[in-house]
Amino acid sequence: MIMNSDDIESHILSRVENEKYAIYNYHDSGPIFGDDLTLISDYGFCVNCYYEKQIRKTNDDFYAKEYEPEIYIQPIPFRPKT
């Protein structure tokens, strides 16, 4: 979700169309969302590939002042060894 203001109407929620390309996180860069949104330090770019909606109107490179990805990880039930 890209949030550039407190106005919830301006937020864009785009779901991945193929979960194989959902998200990557390399040790030498920031998160990469299916090549649709790539962040490397403060540098980023967008190309609509694997998510349902384009999150930027342009494919131009950009610089982010800050970003905070929120990721939900589904818990795996604990099963003790027997």
Per-residue pLDDT tens digits for 19-74 = 888 887 777 777 777 878 888 878 888 888 888 888 777 788 888 777 776 666 77
Say what the pLDDT of residue 37 is.
Answer: 80
What are the extents of the domains in the chain? 8-63
Kindly tell me if the per-residue pLDDT of 75 is higher than 70: yes
- Scored b (16 or more CB within 10 A) or e, 18-44 reads eeebeeeeeeeebbbbbebbbbeeeeb
Q: Give the list of residues 6+ apart from residue 62 with CB closer than 8 angstroms, or none.
A: 43, 44, 45, 46, 56
Query: Is the pLDDT at 1 greater than 50, yes or no?
Result: no
